Structure 1
C-alpha cells in the first residue's frame, strides 16, 4: 500500500493518502480545501486515481476539500451515514467496509467529540480523527460532544485494538506524527488507563477553551461537503484560499 501523511499548517490537520499499488486507486482521509492543489498533485505524482475522499466527522476548524475533489478528480465522497448529508455518495457505517482495490477501511463509530464521529482501521493503522490524539483527545463541548461518550469510545473500541496498532490522528499541534495504542494507553494524560471516567470528565469540563474561530463557517460549509462562504471576514480568508505550500508530515 502506498501511504502518505500530509500536514495542513493553518488548522494543524493531517490528511492521509492511501493508494492501492495493484489498481492505482487511492483515497484521502480528511482532505482540507486549502491543500487541494497539493493533494491532487501528490495523487498525480504517484500515478494514482482518486476514488474517494473520506471524512472522520463534520469538522469545525477547516473546510473539507471533498466537494472540490469530486469536481476536479471525479472522486466520490464518503462520510458518516449518521450525519445524513445529501452530498455524500457512500454512507459510512460500523460493520460496513469501504473497499478500494486492495485497501480496506473498517469503520468504528467513536462518538464523543461529535456524535457522528468515526475512526478507520486499515491493517496495522487506525486513523482516529479527533477522538484520540497523540497525548490528548478532541474537545467535547460542541456538536453534541460528550465526555462520558468519548471515554467509552476510546476505552471500549480504540483501546481494544492491538497494542502495536499505529495511531494516526487528524491533528497535532506539537509536531508529533504517530503514536500507538500501547503508548496512548500508558501515557495519554486524559484517557490513559490509569485515569478514571470521573477524572476525565473533570479534565474536559475545566478546559475552558475558546470556540474555534472558524466554527460558524466550517460546520455549515462541511454539512454541504465543502462550501466556502462568500461572506468571510478578512481575518478568516486564509481558511478558504488554496495554499501551494502545505508541507508533508
Structure 2
C-alpha cells in the first residue's frame, strides 16, 4: 500500500518531562499536522522548515499541559486549526485559538491524508486517538509499557479498560502505535503514589512496598500474553483492587 503521508517523531524534554510529539506530513501537498506539541518549540519549527511543510493543524489527544503547552505559539505562528474531542473540551472547559471540537468516528484530513478520530476516555474524560491508514496516535491511552494513569479528575479505570478493548478490536494488528509517552518514569510514579497517601509514607517506604509486591506479581507478568507495565498496576492496587484487575485484563492479548 502506498502511503500518502510520512510520520516524523520528535522527542522533547522539559525539566523532568519527556514527551513525544509527531509531525504527519502529507507527501503531495506538503501540509502537516502536529500531534500533542509539548516542549521545545524550535524542534518542531526546525523540522517543519527542513521538510518545507506548512503546518495546517494541531491534533490533541487530551488537554493535559504536557500535551498542549505549545498550542498557543504554534497557532500564532501558523494560524493552524486545533482539534480535540468535544467531550474533552466540554468537561475541562479547554480553550485556545482556532479550536474545533470532534465527535467519535469523525474524520479529519490534510491533503490526501485522512485520519479517523476515536474517542478513548480513561486517562481523561474525553481522550481521543487519531487513526491513520497505517498509524495510530494514542497520547496517554496506550504506551509501549502499559497505559496512562487513571487517578485525575475525569479519569476512569473502567473507561480505560473499554477504550483499550476498543482499540484492540477496531484497529488492525499491522497499524503502528505512536504514544505520547513510552512509559511513566519510576520516580514520577513514586511521588504520585506518595502524594495520594494520607499517611506520612516516605519514598523509601514506597520503594520497599513496590519491590515486595513485584515479587508476588512477577509470575503473572511473565505470562506469554501479558503486556503490562507492573509498576503502574502495582501502584493502582494500593488504591483499589478493581483497578488492579482492570489493569491486568486490559492489556492482555
TM-score (norm 1): 0.69
Instruction: Identify the residue that residue 202 of structure 1 maps to in structure 2.
Output: 244
Is contact 1:114-1:145 (8 Å) kept? yes
Aligned equivalent of 1:79, options 84, 93, 104: 84
Instruction: Identify the residue that residue 43 of structure 2 maps to in structure 1.
Output: 38
Is contact 2:145-2:183 (8 Å) kept? no
CA distance in 2, matches of 1:173, 1:110: 18
Instruction: Identify the residue that residue 139 of structure 2 maps to in structure 1.
Output: 129
User: Which of the two has greater helix per residue?
Assistant: 2
Aligned equivalent of 2:129, options 119, 122, 130: 119
Cα deviations by residue, 1:170-216 (Å, 9 ceiling, x for unpaired): 101489xxxxxxxxx9432169xxxxxx97722679xxxxxxxxxxx
Q: How many residues align?
A: 189
After TM superposition, give the deviation of residue 79 of structure 1 in Å: 1.5
CA distance in 1, matches of 2:116, 2:56: 17
Matched, 1:90 2:100: yes
Q: Unpaired runs of 5+ in structure 1?
A: 176-184, 192-197, 206-249
Secondary structure of the structure 1 residue equivalent to 2:9: strand
After TM superposition, give the deviation of residue 72 of structure 1 in Å: 1.1
After TM superposition, give the deviation of residue 41 of structure 1 in Å: 1.2
Instruction: Identify the residue that residue 169 of structure 1 maps to in structure 2.
Output: 179
Aligned equivalent of 2:69, options 64, 76, 80: 64
Secondary structure of the structure 2 residue equivalent to 1:187: coil
After TM superposition, give the deviation of residue 90 of structure 1 in Å: 1.7
The alignment's C-alpha RMSD in Å is 2.6
Aligned equivalent of 1:110, options 120, 129, 134: 120
Is contact 1:135-1:189 (8 Å) kept? yes
Instruction: Identify the residue that residue 19 of structure 1 maps to in structure 2.
Output: 25
TM-score (norm 2): 0.68
After TM superposition, give the deviation of residue 156 of structure 1 in Å: 2.5
Secondary structure of the structure 2 residue equivalent to 1:107: strand
